[in-house]
Amino acid sequence: MSSQTDAQENHSAGIAPSISPVAPWRVAAVTALPNYCLALTFYDGTQGSADLATLIQRPDAGMFAALGDLLLFEQVGLVYGAVTWPNGADLDPCWLHEEIRRSGSLTF
């Protein structure tokens, strides 16, 4: 059996597999900087920074309060283009992109 036949058999009728490009507002790279800041690069080339110090220190910071632990803050990573931490805290990449595109930086 040919690989073309295999491919046809493994897909529902009328539904073609597609590879969609990464959304331009998704984060391509994130780096923890001193003083609870992040350096961000998005897939469309937009770059900027986000200062989370005020957010982390707010009384109503919720799960972001745990990021006051510098070792945890520095474990920042990306999941499907969203900024995330091991404790479950995350930041909306679309919103980050919009704000950083506007001014180059973001302070919470």
- pLDDT for residue 74: 98
Q: Please say whether the dihedral angle defined by the alpha carbons of residues 31, 37, 41 and 42, taken in this order, is positive or negative.
A: positive
- pLDDT for residue 38: 98
The string of pLDDT tens digits covering residues 90-108 is 999 999 999 999 998 989 8
The string of pLDDT tens digits covering residues 40-69 is 999 999 999 999 999 999 999 999 999 999
Residue 53 and residue 77 in contact, taking contact as beta carbons nearer than 8 Å: no
> Which residues have CB under 8 Å from 99's CB, separation 6+?
106
- pLDDT for residue 22: 83
- pLDDT for residue 21: 65
Rounded Cα distance between 59 and 27, Å, is 28
Q: What is the pTM of this model?
A: 0.79
Residue 78 and residue 84 in contact, taking contact as beta carbons nearer than 8 Å: yes
Tokens 């003083």 correspond to what residue?
Answer: 35
Residue 82 and residue 61 in contact, taking contact as beta carbons nearer than 8 Å: no
The string of pLDDT tens digits covering residues 10-21 is 434 444 444 446
- Structural fold of domain 23-107: NE0471 N-terminal domain-like (3.30.2020)
- pLDDT for residue 16: 43
